[in-house]
Structure 1
Amino acid sequence: MGLIGDYRRLMRAGIALARHDVILPGAYQTRLPLPARIAGRVLRIFGGGARGRPGERLARALEKLGPAYIKLGQFLATRPDVFGAEVTQDLGRLKDKLPPFSMKAARAALAEEFGEADAARLFAELSDPVAAASIAQVHKMSLPEGERAVKILRPGIEHKLMVELSAMKRAARTIEGISAESQRLKPVAFTETIAAAMMRETDLRLEAGGADEMHEISHKSGHFVIPSVDWDRTGRRVLTIDWIDGISLTDPKALDRPGIDRKKLANDITQGFLTHAIEYGVFHADMHEGNLIITPEGKVALVDFGIIGRIGMVERRFLAEILWGFLKRDYLRVAEVHFEAGYVPASQSVGEFAQALRSIGEPVHGKPAEEVSMGRVLLQLFDYTHTFGMSLRPELVLLQKTMVQVEGVARAIDPSHNIWVASEPVVGSWIRRSFGPEGAAKLVAGNVKEITNRLKRLPEVMDRFEASLEPPAPPPPPPRRFAPWWGWFGFVAILVALGIWAAK
C-alpha cells in the first residue's frame, strides 16, 4: 500500500478507463481546462472505439477492474445529484459476477471461522457454489429443519480491497490538491466514506444484523418474505440464512406462469418498500431484480442485506409530506417542507422554488403510466439542486436511488404500473395517522424525550463553552498544495502516458 504500489494500481485503472473512453470523454471537453482537453484528445486516440453512453462505458470498465471498483460504481450510483440520473442509472446495472472459488478454499474458510471439528459438523451438507460475486459466494445446504443459504467471503478479499482503496484515497487527495473546483464535491471525504462502507461489507455479522432487523419489520408490516438468520452458523466471514425457493426476477418470462398476478406483484413491491421506509424508517437499499424472488405462494422475498437504508422520524415526516404534496399538486406546501427541512437555503425564494416544482409535477400529472417516470422526475429535481443551492442528505439520496430502482423492477413486471398511484394509499394512511391525534401525541412524547436528553448534556455543553473562552492554540501550518499549473501538467503527463501504454 506504498506510494509505488498505489500509482501502479492507479495506472492499471487508468488504462481500463482510457480503453472505455471514460477519462475526459469528448462529450465534456468544453467544461475542462485546456491541459485536460489536450489529454482527453490524446487518450481518445487510444480509446479502442468504446461505444455507448458514458455511464455504460464506465460500468464496463469498473466490472473489468474487480471488486473494489464494482463497489465504487455501486456507491457512485447513489449520487445522481453529482453525476446525473442517466450515469447513475447505468451504474445501477453493474454486473457483480465473478467465477467461484474452489470448494477446498470454502472449506478452509469455514474451518478458520468455526474450527475444523465444528465446521465439519455444522456444514456437512454444503453444496458446490450456486452463485458468486466480487465479495463472496453462496452455497446451498440441507438440514433436518430446512435448507440454508451459506454466504462465504472470498479468500483474501479484505487485503485486496484495502490495497485498492489505498490507491483510490491517494487519487482523491491528488485531485483535491490540484483542483479547487473539486473541493466542493469533497473527493477525499467521499472516498473515506466509501472505504468504510466497503470494509463493513467484509464483516458478515453486520449483514446478519441487517437481515434480522428486516425480518422483524417484515413480520410486523406483512410486506415481503425475509429469511431468518442461523446465528449458530454465522460469523465474521460466514453468513447463514434460510434458503428461499421461488422465481428470480432476473427471468421475466418465468412470470408468465399461470396463477401469477403481475399487477399485484408490482403493487406489492412498491407499497412494501414505501411502508418499510416511511412507517419503520428502515429499507432494503439494493432492490435490483437479482435480489427479489417470487415464492411459490406468490409473495415477494428479499435477499442480500449488504446495503440497508435508514431515515429518521423527522425525515420520514418531511418525505411523506413531499410525496403527498406532489400527489395532491400542492406545490407550495412541497416547497415549504423543503425549506422547513433545511434542504433549500432560507436565502432562496419559496415561491420561485414552488414554481420550479410545478414545472416538474404538472407534466406528469394524470398521464398514463408509460409516460410517468420517477427517474425523469428525480432528474429534473436534481437539475435544480445547483439552481437553488440545495443540499441533499446522503440517506435521502440513497432512498431516492432505491425508489428509481423499485420503479424499474415494478415496471418490468407490469408495464402499466404507476408508482405515484401505487404510493398514494401508503403515504395517505401514514399522513392521516402521523398528523392526527395519535401522531400528535407521539410527536409531543418525542419532543419531551429530546428536551430531557438535551438537559442531560447541559454540563458537557457548559464545559465546552468554558474551554472555548481559553486562548486558542496557534493554528497548524497550512497543508502543502500543488501549484495549479504544475499539478495539471503532471496530471496530463500521467494521462498521456496511460494512453500510450493502453495502445500497446
Structure 2
Amino acid sequence: MRIARLFKIVSVFYRFGLDDFLAGRPKVGLLAKLFRLLPLPRDTDAPLPQRVRLALEHLGPIFIKFGQVLSTRRDLLPPDYADELARLQDRVPPFDSTIAREVIERSFGQPLADIYAEFENVPVASASVAQVHRARLHGSHGQPGKDVAVKVLRPGILPVIEQDLALMAVLAGLVERFLPDGKRLKPREVVAEFDRHLHDELDLMHEAGNASQLHRNFIGSDMLLVPEVYYDYTRREVMTMQWMDGIPVGQIDRLREAGVDLKKLSRFGVEIFFTQVFRHGFFHADMHPGNILVAADGRYIALDFGIVGSLTDTDKHYLAVNFLAFFNRDYHRVATAHIESGWVPRDTRAEELEAAIRTVCEPIFNKPLSQISFGMVLLRLFETSRRFNVEIQPQLVLLQKTLLNIEGLGRQLDPELDLWDTAKPFLTKWMNEQIGWRGLLRTLKHEVPQWATTLPTIPRKLGEALSGQTTELVLQGYIQLMREQKTQNFMLKLIALLLLALLVILLTRGVPG
C-alpha cells in the first residue's frame, strides 16, 4: 500500500514539474534529466509556486492540510510560495451518514436513538478529519431537548494519516540532504510539528478541552460567544456541543440586511484577539472566516477548536514591548527585546538587527496608519529574521497567522479599520498593569506559595555559605536559587536580593574573624 502511495506522489510531482527543484543540483542533476524522459503528460505552464499548490491538492486532504500549515511558516518559505499555499482549501466530500451513526454507536456503546432524540443525516460541514451533523438531545421533565452540533471523526483516517506522514518524513529527509537550502528549511522539524497538530485533531477530547477553556474565558462577554461542550455526549471520536445560529462572517450583504454594525464588529475582532493573547495567553489559532459566525445580537461566534496557541508570561511581555516599540518606531528597542527574549541568538549585535528592522519597517510607516497591515509587519520581520538565524517559536507563528486572519477579516468588514489605533490603548493599559504597583502585587500573590517553601531554607543556605564562602558567592547562589524557582519579576528579585545582602552584612559583622 505504501509503495502504491509513493508511486502516486512521484507521478503527481512529475506531472506538475516539481522536478524543477532538482535542476542544476550537482547531486541529483542526472536523476532530474532521467526523470524528464518518462513518457507521461506534464502540466508545467503555470509558475512553480502554483504548481506546488496544485500538486498538494491532487494528493488529497492530508497533503492539503500540510500545505496550509506550511503556508504559515513565512520565516522559512519565500513569500510567493507562502501566498500560494495559503490559497489551499480543505474541500472533502462527506462520508456516508450510516457510517457516522456506526461511529457514534460504537463510541457510546448504545443505539443512537438512546443518545440523541433527533439526528440529521445530511452533514452541515465536512473536512479532511471530521464532519458535523445537527442533532437534538433528549428532553427531561417535559422540557424539549437542546439543539446540538455533533462532530464525528472520519473513520479509517488514522492509517491514511500515518502512511502519508511516514512518506512526508522520507521526502523531508531528501529535501534536507539534496537541496542547498534544505537544512535551513528544517523540513523534518516542520513535518514533526505537523504530525503533532494532526494527532491532536484526531482526539476530539483534546478539541473539547480547548473549546471549554475558551468558553470559560469569555463567559458573559459582549463580544464573543463560544459553544458549550456536553461531555456526557463526547468521546475521542465524537464531540457534542451547543448548536449556534448565526450568519457566516464572510457574507457581508446578509450582515448588513440583519442590521449588524460592521464597524463595531471589526473592532470587536481586534479586541478579542488582544484579549486572548495578553489577558488569557490562550488563543484560537484558526480564525479564518469558515470558522466564524455572527449572532443576531452582533457578537462573534467561534467554531472549530482543533488548533489553539498558548503564550508564556515572558512571551506576552516581550510581544507587548515589541508592539509598543513598533507603534513608537523605536527599532532599537525592538532589536534589544528580540535579543532579551531569546528569539535571536545572544551574540547578535543589536545595531545590526536594528538596521535590518528599520529597513523593513520604514517603507511601511510612510503610509497612513489605517493602511498599514500589522500582520504584514510581523510577516516581513519573520522573513528578515532568516539573516539572523532566528528560531521562530511555533506559538509565535500561530500568532502571526491568526493576526493576519483577524486583520484581513476586520478590514473586510470595515475598510477604514485602524488596527493600530484600536490596539495601542489596550497594549498600553496592559503594560501599565504589568510593570506598575498592580503588577507587583499580582506577582507577589502568585509567588507566595513558592516563597513559602523557599524562605525556610535561607538560614541553612546562609549558614553553609558563611562557613566558607564569600558574600559574593552567597549572592550568586541565591540568584541561582531564584532561577530554580522560576520567578520572573525583576523588582521582586531586586527587593529579595537587597534584603538578603543586608542580612549577610549583619551576619558577617557578628561572626568572629
TM-score (norm 1): 0.81
Give the SS at the match of 2:76.
Answer: helix
Could you say which residue in structure 1 is the equivalent of 2:8? 12
Could you say which residue in structure 2 is the equivalent of 1:318? 318
In the alignment, is residue 51 of structure 1 matched against residue 46 of structure 2?
yes
**Cα distance change, pair 59–412 in 1 and its aligned pair in 2 (3 A):** farther
Could you say which residue in structure 2 is the equivalent of 1:77? 71
**Cα distance change, pair 116–97 in 1 and its aligned pair in 2 (3 A):** same
Give the SS at the match of 2:183.
Answer: helix
- Kindly state the Cα deviation for residue 102 of structure 1 after the two structures are TM-superposed: 1.3
**Cα distance change, pair 316–454 in 1 and its aligned pair in 2 (3 A):** farther
Using the alignment, how far apart are the partners of 1:232 and 1:431 within structure 2? 41
Per-residue CA deviation, residues 306-330 of structure 1 (Å, 9 max, x unaligned), is 1011111110000011001101222
Give the SS at the match of 1:286.
Answer: coil
Using the alignment, how far apart are the partners of 1:190 and 1:451 within structure 2? 40
Give the SS at the match of 2:117.
Answer: coil
List aligned pairs for 1:325-474, cutoff 5 A: 325-365=325-365, 367-368=367-368, 371-444=371-444
Gaps of 5+ in 1: 457-504
Amino acid corresponding to residue 88 of structure 1 in structure 2: A
Per-residue CA deviation, residues 428-476 of structure 1 (Å, 9 max, x unaligned), is 22111111111123345556767889999xxxxxxxxxxxxxxxxxxxx
Amino acid corresponding to residue 113 of structure 2 in structure 1: A
Amino acid corresponding to residue 9 of structure 1 in structure 2: R
Identical aligned residues as a percent: 34
- Kindly state the Cα deviation for residue 257 of structure 1 after the two structures are TM-superposed: 1.7
More displaced, 401-410 or 182-191? 182-191
Using the alignment, how far apart are the partners of 1:123 and 1:40 within structure 2? 60
In the alignment, is residue 133 of structure 1 matched against residue 123 of structure 2?
no
CA contact (8 A) 1:335 1:354 kept: yes
**Cα distance change, pair 50–446 in 1 and its aligned pair in 2 (3 A):** farther
Using the alignment, how far apart are the partners of 2:453 and 2:388 within structure 1? 34
Using the alignment, how far apart are the partners of 1:450 and 1:22 within structure 2? 56
Could you say which residue in structure 1 is the equivalent of 2:93? 99
**Cα distance change, pair 180–89 in 1 and its aligned pair in 2 (3 A):** closer
CA contact (8 A) 2:284 2:309 kept: yes
More displaced, 136-145 or 305-314? 136-145
**Cα distance change, pair 163–450 in 1 and its aligned pair in 2 (3 A):** farther
CA contact (8 A) 2:336 2:350 kept: yes
Could you say which residue in structure 1 is the equivalent of 2:238? 238
Match of 1:87 among 64, 81, 91: 81
Could you say which residue in structure 2 is the equivalent of 1:165? 165
Amino acid corresponding to residue 151 of structure 1 in structure 2: K
Give the SS at the match of 1:228.
Answer: coil
Give the SS at the match of 1:125.
Answer: strand
**Cα distance change, pair 53–254 in 1 and its aligned pair in 2 (3 A):** farther
Could you say which residue in structure 1 is the equivalent of 2:504? none
Using the alignment, how far apart are the partners of 1:40 and 1:266 within structure 2? 53
In the alignment, is residue 39 of structure 1 matched against residue 9 of structure 2?
no
**Cα distance change, pair 421–21 in 1 and its aligned pair in 2 (3 A):** farther
**Cα distance change, pair 9–451 in 1 and its aligned pair in 2 (3 A):** farther
Could you say which residue in structure 1 is the equivalent of 2:296? 296
Using the alignment, how far apart are the partners of 1:282 and 1:93 within structure 2? 26
Gaps of 5+ in 2: 138-143, 457-513
Give the SS at the match of 1:116.
Answer: coil
Using the alignment, how far apart are the partners of 1:295 and 1:220 within structure 2? 14
In the alignment, is residue 283 of structure 1 matched against residue 278 of structure 2?
no
Could you say which residue in structure 1 is the equivalent of 2:109? 115
**Cα distance change, pair 221–17 in 1 and its aligned pair in 2 (3 A):** farther
Using the alignment, how far apart are the partners of 1:211 and 1:368 within structure 2? 38
Larger Rg: 1 or 2? 2
Could you say which residue in structure 1 is the equivalent of 2:60? 66
Using the alignment, how far apart are the partners of 2:54 and 2:253 within structure 1? 26
CA contact (8 A) 1:14 1:23 kept: no
**Cα distance change, pair 265–195 in 1 and its aligned pair in 2 (3 A):** same
- Kindly state the Cα deviation for residue 244 of structure 1 after the two structures are TM-superposed: 1.3
Using the alignment, how far apart are the partners of 2:366 and 2:259 within structure 1? 31
Give the SS at the match of 1:9.
Answer: helix
Using the alignment, how far apart are the partners of 1:334 and 1:443 within structure 2? 25
Using the alignment, how far apart are the partners of 1:220 and 1:392 within structure 2? 35
CA contact (8 A) 1:249 1:294 kept: yes
CA contact (8 A) 1:224 1:272 kept: yes
- Equivalenced residues, count: 447
Amino acid corresponding to residue 14 of structure 1 in structure 2: V
- Kindly state the Cα deviation for residue 70 of structure 1 after the two structures are TM-superposed: 2.0
Using the alignment, how far apart are the partners of 2:408 and 2:51 within structure 1? 21
CA contact (8 A) 2:61 2:92 kept: no
- Kindly state the Cα deviation for residue 37 of structure 1 after the two structures are TM-superposed: 8.8
